[in-house]
Structure 1
Amino acid sequence: MLTIGIVLLVQHTTGSFGAAGAVSAATGVAMALCAPQVGRLADRFGQRAVLIPGALAHATAVTALITLALSDAPLWALLLVAVPTGASVPQIGPMVRARWAHRLGGGPLLPTAAAFESVTDELTFVVGPVLATALCTGVHPAAGLVAEAVLTVVGGLVFAAQTRTAPPAHRDALAGRSGGSALAEPGVRVLIPVFLGIGAVFGGLQVSFTAFTEAIGQPAANGLLYGVFAGGNMLAGVACGVIAWRSEAHHRLPRAYTVLALVTVPLWFAAAGGSPVLLGAVGLLVGLATAPAMITGFTLVERLVPARSRTEAFTWLTGSVALGQALAATTAGQLTDGFGSTAGFTVPLAGTALAALAVVTLRRHLAPRPAQPAEARVVARGADHRVPVAVD
């Protein structure tokens, strides 16, 4: 709701898709840069200690952004307040994934849990854009962002209250005694362009669907088109959770990502034809291909990164999605302003093609390292009591 709410509000007040994409991009870049630091703090001090002030700060920043936009503030002012808006986004998704990894370890249910988490994420991607678009077009241009801020605070506080499932704090995680950043793992560095490309799909489609529906005189169809894409993502997520995979995740990811890059090719052609039905069908295919790549990437984190850095690792990936989404949104906005309402659909293709090239070339780094005798896995058994156990 945040990204599309910004795009709709700023485009309404400025009349420019380029300005809307730039403000959305500033929000995404700030989130991408700050999310890993928030993840490291959550690993060290616990999720609750980071989540509560973050949710309140985010609501304050969104309120300031709405006020400036409705006051016809200059673009530089909107960009300035977009920074704390993005930096304060609560990292609920990485925290939830870290809880699943903590509860399930490396067991066979972890891929199913990752798929379930992706399905719930995609449910919000189905409902969120439709709800934000309906509120912005039917109630008030700022109503989508108001709802986003309220839901963030309420949901964040409710989630923070669930202390039983939270992983333990690793207070030595930043002190140098337990290793450095999650980026020290080469596999995480390979996954970053993977998730940048996925962000390019999200950001490119959000702006391009908006421009396309405006051009054909059906702005209310924007949320529906994005909802169809997200619905395909959700359906594929369900399938990924049901399937008992025989191949390893590091073998599946290059294949899944190649498929994703290929299905983005028809987007521009469908949009150029001017048919929302055809564009929705292609968007559905893109959604069906996005979930397997995303779920497989998240599944790999548990096998590549130790527990003490896991929340940080997940935030690097979700931050990469936000950064890719931001860059794609501003690029698609500039292309739309300069070359027409269909030009932005080339952005998902370019982003996924480059990412597919990276993951195919560097796929050897995605294989989990074989455990050394001294590298025993540590499993939490009660408060402050950890028992080393051998890795299978």
Structure 2
Amino acid sequence: MSAYRELSPSLRTIMTPGPVEADPRVLRAMSFPVLGQFDPEFTDLMNETMSMLREVFRTGNEWCFPVDGTSRSGLEAVLVSLIRPGDRVLVPIFGRFGHLLAEIAERCGAEVSVIETEWGTVFDPEIIIQAIHRHKPQLVAIVHGETSTGQVQPLGEIGKACRELDILLVVDAVATIGGTPVETDQWMLDAVIGGTQKCLSVPSGMAPITYNSRVEQQLLSRKRIERGLADPAVSEAAARPVSDSIRSNYFDLSQLQDYWGPMRLNHHTEATSMLYALHEGLRIVLAEGLEERFARHRINELALTAGLQAMGLQLYGSQASKLPVVTCPLIPEGIDGEQVRSMLLHQFGIEIASSFGPLKGRIWRIGTMGFSCRQTNVLQVLGALEAVLLRCGFRLPAGEAVQAALDVYTGK
């Protein structure tokens, strides 16, 4: 008889900025029989997944596929594959995950320049464009939706400027893909990294990415150089030493695209059940419709913010650049934010998030993402938060939060 208990995780209402509740249809898909990675039935699923990713990323790019690993694996795959030691990289930072992009670029040996703006705000695109002219980077890496601060950065003007200057623009859209518009082609984004565990409502474990022909040309050029096939007189890039080879085998995009492309060259064993999950998650997104899905995220955000404000809570950060899928109420003075989170979890089975760095203990972060973005969830978190705050001694107008949210839902 086993000494270990049967696995039986508690049911939770997860209202964090990720991970969120997985759609039951996705969990069902993960239970399907395993196919071999070169079984024609499985390679058809790979092709369908790439096709659906093109629709979700809103791109005509040939290359749209997942990297096996959490969202950070996608970030690393793109940056490790594009950055060579000595490359100039610019990272505009408006929250915690901008610092992550800068760290990865530094580990790749880049000469990293950063510009920063106050947390809770985003950049005027012109500020970034001026920095691009000043630092003359070969690559700009930026977060689209910053979950640490609940802000979303406009990208269209930045993409246009980078394209005109022949600079690659790499975008972390982990928090936004499937929940708010990500216009890869229209905004002239060269490479975009998404995440499964947020607005797609798929468990963490894959990082959908897309990149265009500009990125592919750089990957192939680098591959030729590493194999000693390039003429050193052809370009400055070709003069790079062969020792500048990609330091990762697993995250080498040139090898991954050989695996996902028609040649199907073996690179790694595909995460079969996770691909089932992503395939089903993308199917659900497209069946709902992207515009309808974005509207659902907006209405639930409006109901949540109305309820929080009716409760007497203030919202952190600029509301003009607020990320629609993450809401950040300020923790009231005299209230222990972690005590509130603990009571919500253990008394009501609801999880909300704290924050990082200078915002730790100052704000809560409440996600309305994917399958978790439902009216029942919003009403439950408002009712429970009101009850816990009253229990902790915060005086508020009892009952007003849920009523304010219902007014939004009913159009009053």
Shorter-chain TM-score tier:
under 0.3
Higher helix share: 1
Q: What's the TM-score once normalised by structure 2's chain length? A: 0.27
Instruction: Return the index of the structure with the highest Cα Rg.
Output: 2
Flag the structure with more relative contact order, 1 or 2, with Cα contacts below 8 A and sequence separation at least 6: 1
Provide TM-score, normalisation by structure 1.
Answer: 0.28
